[in-house]
Amino acid sequence: MLAADFVDGVRKLLPVDRVLTDPVDCYAYAYDNSRRIFPPEMVAFPVTGAEVRSIVALCNMHGVALTPRGRGTGTSGGSLPEQGGLALSLERMLRIVSMDPANRVIVTEPGVLNESIQEAARPHGFFWPPDPSSAAYCSVGGNLATSAGGPRAVKYGTTRDHVLGLKAVTGAGEFIRTGCYTTKGVVGYDLTRLLIGSEGTLAIITEATLKLTPLPRSRSGITAHYRDARSCAAAIVRIMALPETPSALEFLDGGALDLIRKRFPDMLPDATRAMLMIEVDGSEHAIAAASKAILDACRDPGLILAEQVADAAGLWRARKALSPLLRDVAPRKINEDVVVPVAALPEFLDDLERLVRAYRIANVNFGHAGNGNIHVNLLVNPDAGDEMERAQKCLDQMFDLVIRLNGTLSGEHGIGSEKRAYVGKEIDAGTLGLMKDIKRAFDPRNILNPGKLFP
């Protein structure tokens, strides 16, 4: 239970409509897309960096756990107040501070939605490349803290590649500025890249200087339908070996296609058991050359049909709806976002199929194949005998497979609480020790998102 003088302290800092303590109100901040529930004892809504700093100082003084929160769409439990305490919701820090087309920069507060950044940049001929499927609902702060990415990461990279600098408040309550306003700069350690992906364990981001990219002149789509996942995976390897880089290269397996068929009955031919959704962008000339090369690389004995599509908007909407549709298959989904080197994708998909068969677990896979980033979903009914136990064993072996293939456990969702038990598979003890030292330097009393990220 929170000490009365801590509660009074926060109430003195913020007006009454920016503090919640009623458990019913606080419950609305107890979830994220991991579907676990950990209610905070208090929710505070700062609107300035100075307010964030004062709240952090109070939490330090009273030893209260503080969990930063954007819009709670994260899938790995990062924004869940596992130890109670205070949820710091950044959702009201909603100002776009400046738009600077000549320098290709937009400066923003952390609560602004990803989609609002795109809307602000578009009239000037720019976009911010991180494109999670949740763009309409997730905040820039959450994108930064998880280094979010999406389909276009194959050509444009992830959040980490599109940030020039940050303002933040460390767990010790210090204001820090990282990076610079220019696209070149090598003064000091790169704390910007350190904070990006740190999942709210080191500092609370209060402002970000984002690097914008010119909008491509046009875009065009290709779809390729295959009889099986193996031929589809072989085509992915050939496409990524080309000098032409697609701006999206998404893979859908038979299970994912069946889900789309159920919701959108006439969208896909019956014979298709694996599919690529490819996007190419640039000038008309560049698109024509790249499309030809990619269509050639799609050819395979298992190919049913590969074609340029003028309007793939419906299919993209269906692709983006896949994550929620999985809830129709089983009450619980173990949703991973592992990455393997692209050339290892055929072996990964083969071995994964063997694993899910051996453990008798329903499985749907789709994802950002151009990065080797596959959303592996193990779909489980926790009330069905030993199904959960089998799924956990399958998961453990799937992570071993990823590491053996020189991959990584998470490409975009982060570790949070969901994956922390497995971090030791990827990061050795010496490196983890150094990461813990860094955590102590930023957050000596371990108040920021305590318990997250480390095994």
143 binds ligand FAD (CB under 6 A): yes
By the rule CB under 6 A, 412 interacts with ligand FAD: yes
Per CB under 6 A, does 134 bind ligand FAD? yes
- Quote the least distance from Cβ 247 to ligand FAD, whole Å: 15
Confirm or reject binding of residue 250 to ligand FAD (CB under 6 A). Answer: no
Q: Which stretch binds ligand FAD (CB under 6 A): 179-187, 294-302, 411-419, 435-443?
A: 411-419
Report the residue number, 89 or 231, with the smaller CB distance to ligand FAD.
89
Of the residues 9, 39, 132, 221, which one makes contact with ligand FAD according to CB under 6 A: 132
Measured from each CB, the residue nearest to ligand FAD is 142
Residue of the chain from 10, 148, 252, 329 that contacts ligand FAD (CB under 6 A): 148
**Does residue number 247 form part of the binding site for ligand FAD (CB under 6 A)?**
no
Please tell me whether residue 19 binds ligand FAD under the rule CB under 6 A.
Answer: no
Cβ nearer to ligand FAD, comparing 387 with 412: 412
199 touches ligand FAD (CB under 6 A): yes
418 counts as binding ligand FAD under rule CB under 6 A: no
Q: For every residue of the chain, which 3-state class applies, written as one string?
A: CCCHHHHHHHHHHCCHHHEECCHHHHHCCCECCCCCECCCCEEECCCCHHHHHHHHHHHHHHCCCEEEECCCCCCCCCCCCCCCCEEEECCCCCCEEEEEHHHCEEEECCCCEHHHHHHHHHHHCEECCCCCCCCCCCEHHHHHHHCCCCCCHHHHCCHHHHEEEEEEEECCCCEEEEECCCCCCCCCCCHHHHHCCCCCCCEEEEEEEEECEECCCEEEEEEEEECCHHHHHHHHHHHHCCCCCCCEEEEECHHHHHHHHHHCCCCCCCCCCEEEEEEEEECHHHHHHHHHHHHHHHCCCCEEEEEEECCCHHHHHHHHCHHHHHHHCCCEEEEEEEECCHHHHHHHHHHHHHHHHHHCCEEEEEEEHHHCEEEEEEEECCCCCCHHHHHHHHHHHHHHHHHHCCCECECCCCCCCCCHHHHHHHCCHHHHHHHHHHHHHHCCCCCECCCCCCC
Residues in 65-84 at the binding interface with ligand FAD, rule: CB under 6 A: 67-75, 78-79
Check residue 371 for interaction with ligand FAD (CB under 6 A): no
To ligand FAD, the closest distance from the beta carbon of 146 in angstroms equals: 4
- 60 binding ligand FAD? (CB under 6 A): no
Q: Which stretch binds ligand FAD (CB under 6 A): 18-26, 145-153, 305-313, 381-389?
A: 145-153
Contacts with ligand FAD by CB under 6 A: the residue count is 38
User: For ligand FAD, which residue of 103, 323, 408, 446 counts as binding (CB under 6 A)?
Assistant: 323
Q: Which is nearer to ligand FAD, 40 or 70 (CB)?
A: 70
Q: Could you say whether residue 142 binds ligand FAD (CB under 6 A)?
A: yes
List residues binding ligand FAD (CB under 6 A): 32-33, 67-75, 78-79, 90, 110, 132-134, 138-139, 141-143, 145-146, 148-150, 199-200, 204-205, 323-324, 412-413, 416, 449
